[in-house]
Amino acid sequence: MPTFDLVVVGSGGGPSELNISAYLLKARDSCWSDGVVGIEAGSGLGALKQILERKPDLFNEGVGEKQVRSYTAPQIYSNVRAFLVSHAHLDHVMGLILLAGTVGGPRKSIRSTRQVLEDLEESIFRPSRIWPNLASWNKDDADHMYLYDPLDFKPEYTRIHKDISVRMMALNHGSDPTPYQSSAFFIRHDPTEQEFLFFGDVEPDSLAKKPLTIDVWRVAAPKIPHRLNTIFIECSYPSGRSNDCLYGHLTPDHLVQELENLAREIVKAKSRTSSAPSNPSSPARKRQRLKSRSNSTNTDDLKGALKGVRVYVMHFKEDMENAYKEPIHVVITRQVKELVEKKCLGAEILAAEQGAHIVI
């Protein structure tokens, strides 16, 4: 049973300001007017207004016989109760900065690490010179539209809106010049315990000083595919870009390497559960135990390991010079798909396209 509706306001990674990381989420059994969670907020009102000109029915909801409720871009943003932000780079927060002071509705919390919130406060809001100060740490402060509400990297889930909870984990996002962190979110629909996984910008573990993405895969693996079957992850550049010019991002080769890491964790998690019950001394169980102990899973073992998983690729760096004949999200997604098929991993690879309504 699907549990979430997600609308892609922006899925680019810059430099075009018209299409940068921004997603709107609600539980499928609720209405957009019951409250919305923004995941990232690079693009905002302007992008959504343009999308609605092309797709005026995007948020339409049936409200009884033949009656349909529709929403404008400011109405949708006024319903936002929380923005979940992976890191403070402008292509992830620009929309929420510009929105503050324009849209109405209830107070909105910004949920991220304390560091990200302090970066927003110290660089943008408090000096009141780049933007008026419209955010505060005080829960009883209706004068400020935004509430800084920090999240921790901890195993417990934190409720961020009715029926929606989140677990945040740390990611590497390059060194600029000191190591810079981003985050990944496990987003859970509490009544059904169904989840999906959403990545902020991420550096390949193979290039990081201290790999962190593997920890996210280890947490995800035992839930796949029954409790978690959808992953949003970046692939900023097309194939062929050198490792020296990644700036903490993935290419198709690196993304597929990461997906192999996930597949390996799934194989291990399965062999752990299947070797647990009954007859622990049978030869088959012994073989399985040996296999689950070794780190080197044969690539043959990974075949089909990601069956039932949908991977939405996102954060495409715009092709401003028209170097490719097709839109960059089509090019990159096809490159990822071909590599995943070559390795027979079994995952379905899709592009998170601006303006799409994705049912999770």
Q: Which residues bind Zn ion (CB under 5 A)?
A: 13, 89, 91, 201
In the bound state with Zn ion, the residue whose beta carbon lies nearer, of 17 and 201, is: 201
In the bound state with Zn ion, the residue whose beta carbon lies nearer, of 58 and 168, is: 168
Q: Is 21 left (phi over 0), alpha (psi -120 to 50) or beta?
A: beta
Question: What is the Cα–Cα distance from 301 to 87, expressed in whole angstroms?
Answer: 35
Nearest-approach distance from CB 30 to Zn ion, in angstroms? 29
CB 108 within 8 A of CB 147: yes
End-to-end CA gap in the chain: 9
**Residue reference for tokens 């560091």:** 115
Query: Would you call 35 exposed, middle or buried from its count of C-beta atoms within 10 A (0-12, 13-18, 19+)?
Result: buried
Handedness of CA 11, 12, 13, 18 (dihedral sign): negative
Nearest-approach distance from CB 339 to Zn ion, in angstroms? 22
**Residue reference for tokens 């929403």:** 71
**Residue reference for tokens 């597949």:** 263
In the bound state with Zn ion, the residue whose beta carbon lies nearer, of 71 and 180, is: 180
Nearest-approach distance from CB 355 to Zn ion, in angstroms? 19
Question: What is the Cα–Cα distance from 119 to 101, expressed in whole angstroms?
Answer: 20
**132 upstream amide cis, omega within 30 of 0:** no
3-state helix, strand, coil in the chain (%, to 5): 30, 25, 45
Nearest-approach distance from CB 221 to Zn ion, in angstroms? 26
**Residue reference for tokens 């417990």:** 156
In the bound state with Zn ion, the residue whose beta carbon lies nearer, of 319 and 348, is: 319
Nearest-approach distance from CB 78 to Zn ion, in angstroms? 26
Q: Nearest Cα to 61, choosing from 5, 1, 2, 3?
A: 5
Nearest-approach distance from CB 201 to Zn ion, in angstroms? 4
Nearest-approach distance from CB 169 to Zn ion, in angstroms? 16
In the bound state with Zn ion, the residue whose beta carbon lies nearer, of 91 and 265, is: 91
In the bound state with Zn ion, the residue whose beta carbon lies nearer, of 3 and 354, is: 354
In the bound state with Zn ion, the residue whose beta carbon lies nearer, of 32 and 316, is: 316
In the bound state with Zn ion, the residue whose beta carbon lies nearer, of 91 and 205, is: 91
Q: State whether residue 207 is helix, strand or coil.
A: coil
Nearest-approach distance from CB 203 to Zn ion, in angstroms? 10
Give the single-character DSSP code of 316. B
Nearest-approach distance from CB 13 to Zn ion, in angstroms? 5
In the bound state with Zn ion, the residue whose beta carbon lies nearer, of 10 and 13, is: 13
**How many other C-beta atoms can be found within 10 angstroms of the C-beta atom of residue 63?**
11
Give the residue nearest to Zn ion (CB).
89
CB 199 within 8 A of CB 249: no
Element at 115 (helix H, strand E): helix 114-120
